[in-house]
Chains A and B, each alone.
Chain A
Amino acid sequence: MIKEENLVYRRTPLMTDATLSYCPGCGHGTVHRLIMEVVEEMGIQQDTIGISPVGCAVLAYDFMDVDFSEAAHGRAPAVATGIKRLWPDKFVFTYQGDGDLAAIGTAETIHACNRGENICIFFINNGIYGMTGGQMAPTTLEGMKSSTTPYGRDAMKMGPPFKITELIAQLPGTHYVTRHAVHKAGLVRKAKKAIRKAFEIQQEKKGLAFIEFLSNCNSGWKMTPNDSNQWLEEHMYPFYPLGDIKVDGKLVKDVCKDLMQKSPVTT
């Protein structure tokens, strides 16, 4: 049975042979692979330029076999803007975590989205600063424990969690805004379709495509990978619901209501 003609799934050759630096079970690896599978299917390896963030995915250029540029912390959309304007026919994407995109890079993200730069932004949300040791991020849920909120995030002191995806969906420049997860096979297949759609939007020069991926951070959350995926479903889904938010430049959800939603307190 183990023959070339029976092969139905193999790791895409666009992922390099380097061992991923992520913790076991981390969603980053899956998203990397999905992006590269889409690039492979579309045959655009020579024309794709990625921008890696600062955070766990800082070494993304080691793992994805396409051209890459590193940006200062949070500035990936600004670097992507420059590259895309110089080479309008290249496919430019940024790959950012929640500390990079939703904290230090908020200004760059919002302005790139508002200008409607013709790029793709892939945003990995695990509700924590994973790389530096699990500190509280803007996306940390209320009541969620992190190394800087050992008694849980208190919204009175630290503010409520930040839904940047719903926020940028309201800007005129974004064409496609959606939220996905990658811990189950069905969700992975849906996420891949969304990535394909994002690259096609860029090909047709329609505007900015923004995809948020909910991911676990089992090391930061101090759980086993499967427990953390379950925790993600129980606690992150209610506040960060999966699904399309903006399709073809039109909102498909009541984002104002979503933005005003009070975070359920998790313990």
Chain B
Amino acid sequence: MAKAKGAIVVDVERCKGCEVCVVNCPTDVIGMTEQVNTKGYHYAYMKYPENCTGCTNCAVVCPDGAITVYRVKPQ
């Protein structure tokens, strides 16, 4: 069975760089940027976007609700 493909969109200004999403991602998609947002936090981004399955684990644990998740079912 083909895996579902997912993608996340991080609200850069809302992210506080706590990295809780990083350890909760089962496929190790998320990394933290070198750059900082206007508050000075390193923010989450899709380091390995090809691995994302759109499981929403990162979004449900994000205390600031900074992550939006999209998913497409395999054809």
Contact = CB atoms under 8 A, between A and B. Distances in A.
Nearest to A1: B7
B73 to A, nearest CB: 9
A6 B68 CA distance: 11
A184 B7 contact: no
A130 interface: no
Given A25-B16, A27-B63, A185 B69 contact: no
B64 A20 contact: yes
B70 A2 contact: yes
A226 interface: yes
B52 to A, nearest CB: 10
Contacts of A164: none
A124 to B, nearest CB: 12
Given A8-B54, A25-B18, A33 B24 contact: no
Interface string B38-75: 00010000000000001111111111111111111000
A29 interface: yes
A26 interface: yes
Interface of A: 1-3, 6-12, 15, 19-20, 22-30, 33, 182-185, 188-189, 218, 224-226, 229
A11 B72 contact: no
A25 B19 contact: yes
Interface residues of B, number: 34
B61 A30 contact: yes
A184 B24 contact: yes
Interface of B: 5-7, 9, 11, 14, 16-20, 22-24, 41, 54-72
Contacts of A2: 7, 9, 70
6 contacts: A11-B65, A11-B66, A15-B65, A30-B63, A33-B63, A225-B18
A7 B68 contact: yes
A8 B70 contact: yes
B17 A24 contact: yes
A190 to B, nearest CB: 11
A185 B65 contact: no
A226 to B, nearest CB: 6
Nearest to A19: B14
Contact of A6 (B24, B60, B66, B71): B71
Nearest to B52: A1
Question: Taking each of B20, B56, B58, B62, which has the highest tally of chain A beta carbons within 10 Å of its own beta carbon?
Answer: B20
A24 B67 CA distance: 14
A223 B14 CA distance: 21
B61 A184 contact: yes
Given A2-B7, A225-B20, A226-B23, A185 B72 contact: no
A189 B69 CA distance: 16
A9 B59 contact: yes
Contact of A25 (B6, B7, B20, B54): B20
Question: Taking each of B19, B59, B64, which has the highest tally of chain A beta carbons within 10 Å of its own beta carbon?
Answer: B64
A12 B55 CA distance: 17
Contact of A20 (B41, B58, B60, B63): B63
A8 B56 contact: yes
B66 to A, nearest CB: 8
